[in-house]
């Protein structure tokens, strides 16, 4: 008999595509976990840069000391960014089809990220004058996440994927904010609304995956065999060709979530149909 689902890990990614901070508890705001994806790396033209383009970004490790963000990377001195003292200097950046006024983190931060990644890059912040809304939900604020405020992944689903792989991956390959243990693999496909700790979330859509899943989060390198994306495409691809793994969450009631919190399913929905194209192989 499977155990009821509970939160086993909480991850905040202060800088989009960089490394995670593992927390025992986190505050849920309308835009997602506090501190999550509030910073963004862009190129010289303001286009957002992610690990799809530069896998080594995952090796940049963030730490918070109050409002001060500290970044560390192999072979680099640490960088401190105090958001309370940033100059009110904004420039437009693009995240997919969205244009956002991002606050500059300063010349020193731009020089640090440029040296770290080997090019001309900038570090921006979701400052007081920055505004972005969730797609199709103008009243739902959003940071620099791709589409929705949070992402959840079931460890049982990761285990089911690993059963098909020659080389195991971890939940961090999927950059989830909440990792859920217990229950059945892919149970989250049928969730419509869940309560976790003090917060209530709408489970709005499956997460469409890409080659970023092939990046080893510790080594900062993409797998030459395109795994696990290649295997996911064999049994988690919908009729439109999108490959799904994990679920996007939108906060309905904010509050605190903690490791160990039970996931209470408040409403369910029909699970999508995926054809297992690998079943005969």
Euclidean distance between CA atoms 117 and 53, whole angstroms:
11
Euclidean distance between CA atoms 147 and 150, whole angstroms:
9
Query: Which stretches of the chain drop beneath a pLDDT of 50?
Result: none
Structure tokens at 45: 């033209």
Residues sharing a CB contact under 8 Å with residue 76, sequence separation 6 or more, in sequence order: 112, 115, 116
Domains observed in the chain = 6-18+143-268 (2.40.33.20), 32-132 (no CATH)
Euclidean distance between CA atoms 240 and 28, whole angstroms:
33
Residue 160 CA, distance from chain mean position: 21
Q: What is the pLDDT of residue 161?
A: 98
> What residue spans of 147-246 are helical by DSSP H?
155-162, 229-235
Residues sharing a CB contact under 8 Å with residue 271, sequence separation 6 or more, in sequence order: 186, 189, 190
Q: What is the pLDDT of residue 280?
A: 55
Backbone angles phi, psi at 107, to 5 degrees: -65, -40
Q: What is the pLDDT of residue 278?
A: 82
**229: helix, coil or strand?**
helix
Euclidean distance between CA atoms 131 and 126, whole angstroms:
8
Q: What is the pLDDT of residue 25?
A: 98
**176: helix, coil or strand?**
coil
Q: What is the pLDDT of residue 115?
A: 98
pTM (two decimals): 0.95
């Amino acid at each position: 008999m499977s155990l009821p689902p509970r939160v086993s890990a909480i991850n905040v990614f202060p800088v989009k595509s960089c490394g995670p901070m593992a927390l025992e508890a986190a505050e849920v705001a309308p835009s997602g976990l506090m501190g999550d994806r509030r910073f963004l790396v862009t190129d010289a033209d303001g286009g957002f840069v992610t690990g799809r383009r530069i896998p080594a970004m995952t090796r940049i490790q963030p730490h918070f000391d109050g409002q001060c963000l500290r970044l560390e990377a192999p072979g680099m001195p640490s960088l401190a960014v105090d958001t309370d003292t940033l100059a009110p200097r904004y420039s437009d950046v693009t995240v997919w089809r969205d244009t956002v006024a991002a606050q500059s983190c300063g010349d020193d931060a731009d020089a640090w990220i440029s040296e770290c990644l080997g090019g001309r890059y900038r570090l921006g912040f979701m400052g007081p004058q920055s505004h972005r809304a969730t797609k199709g939900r103008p009243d739902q604020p959003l940071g620099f996440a791709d589409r929705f405020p949070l992402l959840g992944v079931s460890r049982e689903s990761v285990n089911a994927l690993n059963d098909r792989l020659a080389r195991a991956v971890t939940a961090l390959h999927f950059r989830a904010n909440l990792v859920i243990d217990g229950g059945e693999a892919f149970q989250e496909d049928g969730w419509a609304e869940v309560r976790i700790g003090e917060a209530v979330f709408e489970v709005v859509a499956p997460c469409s995956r890409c080659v970023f899943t092939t990046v080893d989060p510790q080594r900062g390198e993409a797998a030459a065999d395109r795994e696990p994306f290649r295997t996911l495409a064999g049994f988690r691809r919908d009729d439109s060709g999108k490959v799904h793994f994990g679920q996007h969450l939108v906060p309905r009631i904010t509050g605190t979530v903690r490791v160990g919190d039970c996931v209470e399913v408040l409403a369910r929905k029909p699970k999508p149909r995926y054809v297992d194209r690998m079943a005969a192989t």
